[in-house]
Structure 1
């Protein structure tokens, strides 16, 4: 019988990497608290209709990438491909409109999209997602952008830059779509096959194409600014003024659009890295009509999502710090069979008093156990053998300096706490 492996496009996050993930989540959590955002935990699957109506049934996500199936009740269920629609659904379902607005929430967790796996991109991938719901004010956009920048600064990412654009609203977007459609129709032979199919359905998506041939065509494409209605232009001007007021560096990018239909007005990305090697580490913007699209009242919203895999990859490229790799305070070493019960009891006392501890369960030699202590990056080894049992003591060895001393078993917790405290000071 063959060995079972993980499906294509998913992976295990193993201990040598998971502590880095925990560091990234901790930084985002601390940043969220400083900006007044509360954490929520959302379902991994939703009714398919939520994403079909919310994201848009002409998007690549809905057409090609969703993991959709019928459950035992013959209901169409989809593993969430993104978190924003779920966040808005939760806001509506739990009547958060009665709370002081905006309601500011964030979450993290796995998302699912069926696409070709490649470096930094998986079919199950993790995102952090921040949403500010209930305020139409441009300064809510500025706060979201500022929050994402601050989190990336705390993570140590370098050369941060914001790209911004406006994608208009349902009032002014039709005119811009017509302008784009006319322009791209005149150069249709230069577009890739995918963009030709987008021409009739959603010409804004052509601006987002990464193929070099299409990018050269979009260089001269009409900018959205001339097509914006007065409300969208005023909103965009206030966002820019707010960014200027906070000293936030940004660059206008007329080709920046979001791949999901629910976006209105502000669209933005954050890049990190030296010129020529910049990476997009998050994307977001405003989506004032999403709540209505999924059957609710009008609820303005703005937010962003960032892929954790991508963040980790960029941090490693830029040699950012992930803090201190986890280690244990004490490793228990038993020199004979009778000593193992004593070590187990001592370790239990340590753990009850907030001292992290581990031991060997295989009855190996002292040399092998000491090697394990070093591998676990233990600060101290507590050694117990026949002579220590007779004297009622424990030998405590500093694994950095090599110094060791015998300590009474009755005061072992207090003495080890003192040693560890002195090391940390």
Structure 2
């Protein structure tokens, strides 16, 4: 019996992984331009971090976490998202005391959630996310959104829809919370058990329920925008103005509720409107979380960030028919004829690699014709032909596989010749 891959996971094979590398490298380039620095946190953390940071009433904590007990009896959890782990590291290493503020970080790595696998959704998935900690300026909200949009657009995506909302400050949320309780209480028995348990704990989460999304009370639920105090209104208006100044198109949706408990003020999602992308259109989500650092033992620190799925990003690129300019082939393939030439090819290939070329040779004693076929499969730009006779003359034949032209070059000047061809 063969061992199968776990459900909800995938092998990313050569021929596909190059696309992953491309979009991840693009993320790093965009973050460098915005002066965000990479951070790498552990794959697993103490379970309490996610219970306190993500929220005990969320589906993530209640239903989706991979939690286990180690040999020391400690409860640990594979990270289901990146923000809580990054803020934990921020507190652990006292980054709030550094001179340069806000602290601007990004991460790329695997996350784990026990969800029903479906198109674009896996139990192990890769997130790219950014976090800006230490500023209450609405301009940093706009900056985060600008980074997000620039990243997607730099990859060629056009059919995008940015949706934003304000969840208000603590005072605004408390007023809205009571209005939601008053709204849903008389008929809460018509809702699922999850919604019933959330009524008093976190009624805002009812609006994010997938089971009861079509219930008539959902459509008439009080909007958070009606309960924003003056500060929250001014803050949200400022964010919108900055987005207009940056020519970033957006839609305000008062029903937008993020799935994690730590959000306040600005919340947002980015959707794909590409035909055939699928029923679940969300590509990315994020928002402001001014109380998160404090909830895990740090000082009162404002923050904002987003996270996106690399898997869903690649699906969106496919839906729009965008082919990324990835290079899969090799620069040079060395074909040999004769034992002496075969021995010499080992050092020639090594010299080419040391000079920065992607080089390959035969390791299976194939005939010359089969070696040329292998060069074609490797999509080699140039084939370097070396026989025992050429070796005695210290020369090789360099064939341009696109034009078919072939020239004799001394082995000593091979690297320089290839550099001139690629210049």
The verdict on a shared fold, with TM-score over 0.5 as the criterion, is yes
TM bin, normalised by shorter chain, reads over 0.9
Question: What does the per-residue CA deviation read over 1:319-371, in whole Å, with 9 as the maximum and x for residues that have no partner?
Answer: 12311333211001122333211111111111111121011100112122111
Structure 2 counterparts to residues 71-90 of structure 1, below 5 A? 71-90=70-89
The Cα of 1:417 is off from its aligned counterpart by 2.1
Contact 2:19 2:326 in 1 (8 A): no
- State which drifts further: 228-237 or 13-22: 228-237
SS at match of 1:33: helix
TM-aligned CA distance change 1:225 to 1:243, over 3 Å: same
Distance 2:209 2:61 in 1: 18
Aligned to 2:154: 154
Aligned to 2:112: 112
Question: What does the per-residue CA deviation read over 1:174-212, in whole Å, with 9 as the maximum and x for residues that have no partner?
Answer: 221221233234454764554444434332222223458
Contact 1:199 1:206 in 2 (8 A): yes
Distance 1:358 1:413 in 2: 15
The Cα of 1:164 is off from its aligned counterpart by 0.8
The Cα of 1:253 is off from its aligned counterpart by 0.8
Contact 1:190 1:214 in 2 (8 A): no
Aligned to 1:70: 69
Question: What does the per-residue CA deviation read over 1:86-113, in whole Å, with 9 as the maximum and x for residues that have no partner?
Answer: 1111111111112221111111000011
RMSD between aligned alpha carbons? 1.9
TM-aligned CA distance change 1:181 to 1:212, over 3 Å: closer
Distance 1:191 1:340 in 2: 74
Contact 2:195 2:206 in 1 (8 A): yes
Distance 1:315 1:262 in 2: 30
SS at match of 1:15: coil
Question: What does the per-residue CA deviation read over 1:12-47, in whole Å, with 9 as the maximum and x for residues that have no partner?
Answer: 111111111111112111111111111111111111
Output the TM-score relative to the length of structure 1: 0.93
Structure 2 counterparts to residues 15-34 of structure 1, below 5 A? 15-34=14-33
The Cα of 1:266 is off from its aligned counterpart by 0.9
- State which drifts further: 394-403 or 333-342: 333-342
Contact 2:275 2:319 in 1 (8 A): no
Aligned to 2:328: 326
Question: What does the per-residue CA deviation read over 1:136-176, in whole Å, with 9 as the maximum and x for residues that have no partner?
Answer: 11111111111101111101111332211112233222221
Output the TM-score relative to the length of structure 2: 0.94
Distance 1:284 1:317 in 2: 23
Distance 1:321 1:32 in 2: 23
Aligned to 1:45: 44
The Cα of 1:75 is off from its aligned counterpart by 1.4
Structure 2 counterparts to residues 150-299 of structure 1, below 5 A? 150-188=150-188, 191-192=191-192, 194-211=194-211, 214=214, 217-274=217-274, 279-299=281-301
Contact 1:337 1:363 in 2 (8 A): no
Distance 2:286 2:143 in 1: 12
Distance 2:234 2:370 in 1: 70
Aligned to 1:91: 90
Aligned to 1:418: 420
Distance 1:307 1:96 in 2: 27
Aligned to 1:311: 313
Aligned to 1:14: 13
- State which drifts further: 395-404 or 109-118: 395-404
Contact 2:264 2:289 in 1 (8 A): yes
Distance 2:80 2:202 in 1: 20
Question: What does the per-residue CA deviation read over 1:211-254, in whole Å, with 9 as the maximum and x for residues that have no partner?
Answer: 58526542222111111223222211211222222222111111
SS at match of 1:164: strand
Aligned to 1:369: 371
TM-aligned CA distance change 1:213 to 1:28, over 3 Å: closer
- State which drifts further: 410-419 or 211-220: 211-220
**Match of residue 387, structure 1, among 389, 392, 413:** 389
Contact 1:206 1:214 in 2 (8 A): no
5+ residue gaps in structure 1? Answer: none
5+ residue gaps in structure 2? Answer: none
Contact 2:224 2:254 in 1 (8 A): yes
Question: What does the per-residue CA deviation read over 1:375-419, in whole Å, with 9 as the maximum and x for residues that have no partner?
Answer: 111101111123222332212111112221222222222222222
- State which drifts further: 180-189 or 3-12: 180-189
Distance 1:381 1:19 in 2: 23
SS at match of 1:165: strand
